[in-house]
């Protein structure tokens, strides 16, 4: 009897969770890649792909309400204090594009997004505006890198998607060949920041470990910023061979804030997520190559031999 009551209570809980936020779908379209929806909840606007949340934005202030992990894309300043050109692969709802436009008005941003519907939605519903400092290219990220002769100080990768069945990542943006290409388009002191979803503590072959290991083949230093409120990990790779430890990162952070180079209010807090130890799965995860990039298996809970 008691268990029945508990079950009932659980059911009610689930139902209430579903009804608590009256969601209002204000845009919906099938693109070649996803079911793209824009959903308004009280105070926040959400971009959803196939039913999972890609971007959140406060309706009162477009610079608020975003996912925490996007703030780790400000960390490249620690390693390069003279950022002028940034390439972002993946637009989504444009959280990071809006932030760069707002906080770093002199930085030129190129954004590459494969899905034309996403570009349209970002412009119409998420306050992303093309300008002399923000160009949007409708293309595949790797193809764009292949064909550009531009050099960037920072390359930011956020091409991840999630669904109820787990996350997925374009395999051709995970390989040694891809990172070689990216490194060749970075300036001498260039920094690459890469969003991935995974578990730093997993000891089985895993995507964060595999990406870390693959990046380490090309870049002399790779660091990790695990997000506090989600499973996102932003891996930061530098072309500079100079190793940074926790204290050095905090020091540089303080200096950047004092000199008002970085005015993101949470910058100091984000830098405290800094880790310079590799993910635990790094020893057992494979180096990913164009020839062998079993990302599906690595994200499905491992089981791939080195």
- Binding residues for other proteins, rule: CB under 8 A, are 32-33, 114, 137-143, 146-150, 170-173, 175, 177-178, 289-292, 294, 296-297, 304
Whole-number CA gyration radius for the chain: 20
CB of 51 to other proteins, least distance (A): 19
- Count the Cβ atoms, other than its own, within 10 Å of residue 303: 10
CB of 97 to other proteins, least distance (A): 18
Structure tokens at 27: 């845009």
Q: What's 105's DSSP letter? A: T
Question: Judged by CB, which is closer to other proteins: 227, or 298?
Answer: 298
Among residues 118, 150, 149, 154, which one has the least CA distance to residue 136? 118
Structure tokens at 251: 């020091």
Question: Judged by CB, which is closer to other proteins: 9, or 29?
Answer: 29
CB of 173 to other proteins, least distance (A): 7
Longest dimension (CA), the chain: 71
Question: Judged by CB, which is closer to other proteins: 65, or 294?
Answer: 294
CB of 289 to other proteins, least distance (A): 8
CB of 192 to other proteins, least distance (A): 18
CB of 76 to other proteins, least distance (A): 24
CB 195 within 8 A of CB 206: no
Structure tokens at 29: 């379209």
CB of 67 to other proteins, least distance (A): 22
Question: Judged by CB, which is closer to other proteins: 162, or 251?
Answer: 162
Q: Give kind and range of the element (H or E) at residue 83.
A: none
**Helix crossing, 207-218 with 176-184: angle to 10°?**
50
Among residues 198, 151, 146, which one has the least CA distance to residue 172? 146
CB of 237 to other proteins, least distance (A): 20
Question: Judged by CB, which is closer to other proteins: 127, or 172?
Answer: 172
Strand partners, 136: 111
CB 186 within 8 A of CB 151: yes
* Gap between the Cα atoms of 205 and 298, Å rounded: 6
Question: Judged by CB, which is closer to other proteins: 22, or 32?
Answer: 32
User: What is the length of the chain?
Assistant: 306
Question: Judged by CB, which is closer to other proteins: 120, or 251?
Answer: 120
CB of 59 to other proteins, least distance (A): 32
Residue ranges in the chain assigned as alpha helix (H): 2-20, 95-103, 116-125, 141-147, 176-184, 207-218, 246-258, 267-271, 295-299
Question: Judged by CB, which is closer to other proteins: 198, or 302?
Answer: 302
Question: Judged by CB, which is closer to other proteins: 30, or 272?
Answer: 30
Among residues 238, 242, 236, 220, which one has the least CA distance to residue 270? 236
* Gap between the Cα atoms of 192 and 245, Å rounded: 18
């Amino acid at each position: 009897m008691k268990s029945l009551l508990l079950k009932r209570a659980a059911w009610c809980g689930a139902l209430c969770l579903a009804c608590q936020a009256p969601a209002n779908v204000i845009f919906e379209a099938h693109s070649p890649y996803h079911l793209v929806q824009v959903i308004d909840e009280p105070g926040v606007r959400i971009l959803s792909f196939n039913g999972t949340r890609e971007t959140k934005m406060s309706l009162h202030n477009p610079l608020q309400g975003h996912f925490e992990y996007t703030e780790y894309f400000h960390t490249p300043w620690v390693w390069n204090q003279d950022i002028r050109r940034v390439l972002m692969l993946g637009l989504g709802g444009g959280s990071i594009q809006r932030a760069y436009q707002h906080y770093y008005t002199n930085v030129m941003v190129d954004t590459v997004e494969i899905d034309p519907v996403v570009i349209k939605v970002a412009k119409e519903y998420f306050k992303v505006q093309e300008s002399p400092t923000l160009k949007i290219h409708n293309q595949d990220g790797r193809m764009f890198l292949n064909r550009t002769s531009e050099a960037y100080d920072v390359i930011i990768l956020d091409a991840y998607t999630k669904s109820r069945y787990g996350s997925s990542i374009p395999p051709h943006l995970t390989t040694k060949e891809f990172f070689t290409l990216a490194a060749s388009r970075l300036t001498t002191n260039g920094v690459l920041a890469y969003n991935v979803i995974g578990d730093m503590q997993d000891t089985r072959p895993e995507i964060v470990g595999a990406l870390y290991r693959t990046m380490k083949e090309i870049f002399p230093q790779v660091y990790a910023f695990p997000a506090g409120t989600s499973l996102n990990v932003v891996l930061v790779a530098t072309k500079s061979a100079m190793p940074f430890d926790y204290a050095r990162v905090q020091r540089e952070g303080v200096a950047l804030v004092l000199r008002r180079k970085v005015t993101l209010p949470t910058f100091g807090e984000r830098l405290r997520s800094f880790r310079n130890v590799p993910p635990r799965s790094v020893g057992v995860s494979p180096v990913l190559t164009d020839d062998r990039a079993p990302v599906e298996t690595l994200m499905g809970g491992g089981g791939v031999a080195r």
